[in-house]
Structure 1
Amino acid sequence: MQLPASNGIVAASTAEIPPTGCFPVPNPGECFWQTQPHPKSNHRSTEQLPEHSDIVIIGAGYAGISTAYHIVKDHKDFNKSITILEARGVCSGATGRNGGHLRPDFYGHIPTYIDRAGARAGAEIAEFEIAHLPALKKVIEEEKIDCDFTLTRTIDVWCNGEAAAKAKATFDSVVAQKFEYMNDAIFYTGKEVEGVSAC
């Protein structure tokens, strides 16, 4: 897969490379969101991979494409070559499989980061994820991207008591850190849940 050559950017698929332990499985399940792929989803901008590239980005998902976009956007006089390598197609991995949902993790994995690097580091990771929402909205508006972007609230649901209790304990541990962003999160249990119909 390659994106059109622009500003010295070359993107290529490793589809012709035999699968090994470090590449995705050769026959993945089809994702509903990708049943009608974008015309550029499997495009390749050069016949052969370049022998040299100033910058090589592995993956053409959310992080890889964002990296290339911001390198070029933030450096108007950019004159270096960028190669994006992708195992399949643009957003064919986790970015595309989730149906386009971009959702920050307020508390799920944050305690792990707190344990590893401290409370401030955990909060910074969550705040970084939260900052992606308005940043993505801004890019969509500035670039006039035709898509179904909807900025809305989100909800987690646990279907058994054990999972819900574990999630509540995690939630409470992050609330105890007094991170400002947690003021926007609510955990309902029991009868309280019955009154929640939309988020």
Structure 2
Amino acid sequence: MSESGGMPPQRHIQHHGAQKSLRRRRRLLSVTATGALPRVVPLPTVSVQLNLTFLLVVRVRNPNPAAFRHGPADTALNYRGAAVGSGEVPAGTVPSRGAATVRMNMTVQADRVVAAAGIGGLVADVVAGEMEFEARTEVPGTVTLLGFVKRGVEARSVCRVVIGVADVTVRRQECHNKAKL
């Protein structure tokens, strides 16, 4: 697995007021197809389903003076507005004024992708060579301020990610992140 570079800088939105920003930034380093699991469902009608598993490597940067500790969280994956997959972000820590690499498996249900786009839409995306997904993640965690004050924080990220069909690599991404104390 390589850490691919050359990606354009991502856009970032800060929110003020009741929602204080941790200014966490996410950057996808790579997406790698790791497996396929075909399944035949006999009832009520015979259908063939295919689940694809991808390993996503995400770089999370925390420019703030407080480390962010978080438990496991779920990521929902949408394609053309429909839920097509999910993944779990493992528990971890993003150090103060530092970064962490998060590796997570994302399972995509191919039958849901086809249902979301229809055959015509899916063929159009494949011919164009790109598929655009939206990943939504809400990560509950804590920060420790001044070495002893612990505060609950929820970090949210919505990323639009364009994946190349032929090489299964990240072509473009745009993430909007916010955190609420």
* TM-score (structure 2 length as normaliser): 0.21
Larger radius of gyration: 1
The TM-score normalised by the length of structure 1 is: 0.19
Greater fraction of residues in helix: 1
